Amino acid sequence: MTTNTTKIRIGLNGANGRMCRAIAHTVKCDNRFQIAFGVDNKSEPTDCAYPIFKSFQDVPLCDVIVDFSTPSATAYALDYAVAHQVPILVATTGHDEAQKQHIAEAGKSIPVFFASNVSFGTFLLLKLASVAAAFLDDTYDIEIVETHHRIKSDAPSGTALAIASSICAAKEQSCGANYTTVCGHALRREEHQIGIHSVRGGTVVGKHEVLFLGDDERITIAHEAENKSVFVHGALKAAAFLLTKPNGVYGMDDLLKD
Ligand SMILES: NC(=O)c1ccc[n+]([C@@H]2O[C@H](COP(=O)([O-])OP(=O)(O)OC[C@H]3O[C@@H](n4cnc5c(N)ncnc54)[C@H](O)[C@@H]3O)[C@@H](O)[C@H]2O)c1
């Protein structure tokens, strides 16, 4: 752990990726943090000021792990974090049920922050969509459209799934209706179905739109990240938050309540 006078040492998993490089770039000018090391299985010549390892074997000490990698690579970071009792932010998306279970298990022995989107704006979108879903009756069809850059590897986005899940919970709570999600519509849409549509191309950082399509009117709630800094700031806030928390799995709700 750190004292008030020392910087929080971050270990980056997925260090050569776009998000980790954006974090390292921001941290250069932020005296609260320093990058202790990176881990990435893809070796790349780098001029960065911290060492990058191919695995967690032999990495130096750190105060918190920040994981922006791939769903399978999260497991190595989790195992390291549990073995060394280091809190971890899992910001990677696209985990399957077994991988999510691994994250939940880790939360029994260390503080874990798990969020498919660490931008505060997107979190507000999710909350507003839940309020709208509870307010509007089921004559409004609900569709989610998410747009990301051409090299995003998972679809639909973890954020679109999180928005859909929170709308389902809002519908269940407000009117007892059981909403389900479907990726694209191959057939005519059914009642109580939320369609999720993924658009991939160009350099779009991340856009999510929730459409409530009624008879004679449409309501759209949307968020677009203009650059990665919104995720970087959220990730650094979540990393610092974890250092003050007991074991457990935390999310954006907890960060905002704090
Ligand atoms: N939670 C959020 O707010 C948020 C925001 C942006 C991106 N993301 C997610 O973060 C993840 C990374 O995004 P990105 O744009 O940086 O992707 P990226 O493809 O640029 O980076 C991923 C990095 O992980 C590395 N990697 C692969 N296998 C590894 C292993 N076994 N060990 C260590 N590193 C390994 C890759 O070599 C690559 O450098 C994605 O899942 C993305 O959806 C989440």
Average pLDDT over residues 5-17: 94
CA 168 – ligand 1 centroid, Å: 28
Give 119-176 pLDDT, tens digit per residue.
Answer: 999 999 999 999 999 999 999 999 999 999 999 999 999 999 999 999 999 999 999 9
Give 176-217 pLDDT, tens digit per residue.
Answer: 999 999 999 999 999 999 999 999 999 999 999 999 999 999
Q: Which residues line ligand 1 (CB under 6 A)?
A: 13-14, 16-19, 39-42, 68-70, 73, 76, 91-94, 115-119, 231
Give 220-250 pLDDT, tens digit per residue.
Answer: 999 999 999 999 999 999 999 999 999 999 9
| pLDDT value for 3 | 47
CA 237 vs CA 29, 139, 258: distances in Å: 15, 40, 11
**Average pLDDT of the chain?**
95
Six token digits for residue 1? 């752990």
* End-to-end CA gap in the chain: 20
Residue 2 has pLDDT above 60, yes or no: no
Q: Atom 17 in ligand 1: which residue has the minimum CA distance?
A: 17
Q: At 94, which amino acid appears?
A: G
pLDDT category at 251 given cuts 50, 70, 90 is: very high
CA 72 – ligand 1 centroid, Å: 10
Closest listed residue to residue 7, CA positions, set 37, 35, 48: 35
3-state secondary structure the chain: CCCCCCCEEEEEECCCCHHHHHHHHHHCCCCCEEEEEEECCCCCCCCCCCCEECCCCCCCCCCEEEECCCHHHHHHHHHHHHHHCCCEEECCCCCCHHHHHHHHHHCCCCEEEECCCCCHHHHHHHHHHHHHHHHCCCCCEEEEEEEECCCCCCCCCHHHHHHHHHHHHHHHHHHCCCCEEEECCCCCCCCCEEEEEEEECCCCCEEEEEEEECCCCEEEEEEEECCCHHHHHHHHHHHHHHCCCCCEEECHHHHHHC
With the most atoms of ligand 1 within 8 angstroms of its CB, the residue from 18, 19, 56, 226 to mutate is: 19
Distance, in Å, from the CA atom of 43 to the CA atom of 251, rounded to the nearest integer, reads: 32
Indicate if the alpha-carbon torsion angle 121, 239, 130, 203 is positive or negative. Answer: positive
CA 93 – ligand 1 centroid, Å: 8
Residue 1 has pLDDT above 70, yes or no: no
Ligand 1 atom closest to Cα of residue 116 = 1
| pLDDT value for 45 | 65
Distance, in Å, from the CA atom of 154 to the CA atom of 144, rounded to the nearest integer, reads: 16
Give 50-102 pLDDT, tens digit per residue.
Answer: 999 999 998 999 999 999 999 999 999 999 999 999 999 999 999 999 999 99
Domains parsed from the chain with CATH numbers? 8-114+228-257 (3.40.50.720), 120-225 (3.30.360.10)
